[in-house]
Amino acid sequence: MPTLPLRVLVLEDHTFQRSVAVSMLQALGCQEVFEASDGAQALAVLEAVGQVDIALCDLQMEGMDGLEFLQRVGASGQVKSVIISSSLSADLCRAVHQMVTLLGLELLGDVGKPLDAQVLHDLLKKALAKPVSQQPPISASPLASEDAVREALAQRQLKAWYQPKFNLQTGEVCGVEVLCRWQHPTRGIIPPAVFMPVLERCGLLDELLFCQIDEALTLQTSARAQGFVLNIAFNLQASQLANSDLTAAIRHILVSHAAPGSSLTFELTESGLLEAPATSLESLVRLRMMGCRLSIDDFGAGFSSLQRLCQLPFNEIKLDADFVRNLEHEPRCRAAISSTLALGETLGMAVVIEGIETDAQRLQLLGLGCTQGQGYWYARPMAGDDFLAWLHRRNDREVSDQ
């Protein structure tokens, strides 16, 4: 058996099972194997021997248990990755897996109990095939200055980009979401994380929204003249609903473009709507009275209130992308998607699935009864001219295939 360049810490309170784990790891060729009977002892071991590549961790034990141990080492860098060794039920294991990921640790997998040598061997190979001792993450881009963002807004450098929504079965475009990119004259395309928090802090979100609606309705008119009918969706923060002039300004832009309200959708994340005040509800009602569609974005990512969902005048649900990412391996995600589809049908609300990245996901969603989706499998966000060109290329392919 070749030597594996891995340092492993075994955290197990049962003496015999700990001995078995240590012997198995040594037999599999691990270079160094350390052991501890509870979390406190494991922390002391780490203090003495330094960083380890893997913690093979039981969860239930006397003293400091595995959960508290993982919380302690999550931000310390003392443990690079984790293998869970537990006899917990499948739903609890899934929750622990999520916790480990949120703590910033790499989860190699679950070896179960009693230990299976082949499963353990495969997880060790996984650690070597995808080393966790990677370069430190690149720090997040610093926020732009307020003056720079104000100038960018005044100079119309904050451009609308478009990502299509599509019919999962036919591939037909059934709408488009407007996103924002900063088209800097010297730095190129700047992502929204650099400037959106500044816009929000400075109370400039409404000004950006009105510019985007104006720009997008111009594109919508061009697309309609070329035979493409598009509903255009905009992201709206719940805090913007408190502006009593919001709906009047949107109505004015619609009139200036001779566009009906039904050509627009406004997407709001659910988290800001759970305690929506009366002024916010008035804005939502006015938008619907103008004919606009309202969509709850990232549904399921927060603490959804079904009561509020029934009270608020929404007619579309956009299901959070995490449900699609975990669709293949998480039965509960399949159940959540199916339940949301049934809820949407009962409430008369369309359901759009976000984050579709593979054809396998699309086919699984079709099997569950999904009809509308959005994601990189179909198209990435594009600038306006690129989007129109993309529509033409797609239409030309469909004509040539007939």
Pairing of strands 264-269, 232-235: parallel
| Per-residue pLDDT at 136 | 38
- Domains of the chain (ranges; CATH) run 4-129 (3.40.50.2300), 146-401 (3.20.20.450)
What's the CA gap between 318 and 372, in Å, rounded? 10
Per DSSP, the residues of 84-99 read: E-----HHHHHHHHHH
| Per-residue pLDDT at 397 | 78
Which one of the listed residues 12, 177, 270, 354 is annotated catalytic? 354
Helices (H) and strands (E) in the chain, counts: 15, 15
Asked if omega into 164 is within 30° of 0 (cis), the reply is no
Element (H, E) at 344: helix 331-347
| Per-residue pLDDT at 181 | 94
| Per-residue pLDDT at 8 | 94
| Per-residue pLDDT at 304 | 55
Q: Is 253 helix (H, G, I), strand (E, B) or coil?
A: helix
What's the CA gap between 4 and 235, in Å, rounded? 50
Q: Is 400 exposed, middle or buried (0-12, 13-18, 19+ CB in 10 A)?
A: exposed
Q: Is 386 helix (H, G, I), strand (E, B) or coil?
A: helix
| Per-residue pLDDT at 130 | 59
Six token digits for residue 127: 């650690």
| Per-residue pLDDT at 208 | 96
| Per-residue pLDDT at 135 | 38
- In the chain, which residues have pLDDT < 50? 131-140
List 106's β-bridge partners, or say none.
81
Going by the DSSP 8-state scheme, the letter that residue 262 receives in this structure is: G
Decide if 316 is catalytic: no
How far CA 319 is from CA of 4, 39, 123, 305, in Å, comes to 43, 38, 33, 14
